[in-house]
Amino acid sequence: MLTRTGENPLVGVVMGSDSDWPTMRPVVEALTEFGIGAEVGVVSAHRMPEDMVAYGRGASQRGLRVIVAGAGGAAHLPGMLAALTELPVIGVPVPLKHLDGVDSLLSIVQMPAGVPVATVSVGGARNAGLLAARILGAGEGPAAARLRERMRSFQVDLRDIALDKGAALARRVAGAE
Ligand SMILES: Nc1c(C(=O)O)ncn1[C@@H]1O[C@H](COP(=O)(O)O)[C@@H](O)[C@H]1O
């Protein structure tokens, strides 16, 4: 079952289980900040292979332009979706109780040549959402130009936050003297 956020979802956000949602939620939050609608759901290569094939094969035709796929453990979902679609796929390694997400990271990042998955850090879901926004912003037309503009202003905010941190550190150092 797929849920939509926003109008005309351009990004598919899928995960191997609902237990991945706490890790994956920042993907949707980042997309929402940039005004990008998403189609969100559980799709598992292991547990529902036929549905996963249908999802990957139909993604582009449904209007999606980027897929963000998160999974933990033996995380085959992002790579299998990349094999099934021509859309860019961003993989999010989800950390589980054992192995701290290293298993998932290696499963996602070590793709064979010809089937790329852009892998973010373990639990790096927010960056996956931001990367999806950048991919959409790299296109032609006014909507893409607006996304690039929003990304530039987001980057200015990041600089301001870093400057504030620098000022806070300076105060702490001065207090320690
Ligand atoms: N790695 C995969 C895939 C897959 O890659 O197809 N399907 C489910 N899972 C992962 O299994 C973990 C445990 O799932 P449960 O919590 O449902 O037992 C989740 O992190 C999920 O992403």
Q: Tell me the pLDDT tens digit for each residue of 110-123.
A: 999 999 999 999 99
Which atom of ligand 1 has the smallest separation from the CA of 19? Answer: 16
Structure tokens at 9: 């979802």
Q: Which residues contact 170 (CB under 8 A, 6 or more apart)?
A: none
Query: Is 146 marked as a binding-site residue?
Result: no
Q: Which residues contact 20 (CB under 8 A, 6 or more apart)?
A: 70, 71, 72, 94
pLDDT at res. 177? 74
Which atom of ligand 1 has the smallest separation from the CA of 76? Answer: 5
Query: Is 160 marked as a binding-site residue?
Result: no
Ligand 1: residue of 13, 21, 43, 44 to mutate (most ligand atoms within 8 A of CB) is 44
CA of 124 to the centre of ligand 1 (A): 17
DSSP string, 131-171: HHHHHHHTSSSHHHHHHHHHHHHHHHHHHHHHHHHHHHHHH
Residue nearest to atom 14 of ligand 1 (CA): 17
Q: 46, 49, 59: which is closest to 2 by C-alpha?
A: 59
Residue nearest to atom 11 of ligand 1 (CA): 72
Query: Is 47 marked as a binding-site residue?
Result: yes
pLDDT at res. 176? 84
pLDDT at res. 26? 98
* Residues of the chain where predicted confidence (pLDDT) is lower than 70: none
Question: What residues are in contact with ligand 1 under a 6 Å CB criterion?
Answer: 15-17, 19-20, 44-47, 71-77, 94, 96
pLDDT at res. 161? 97
pLDDT at res. 78? 98
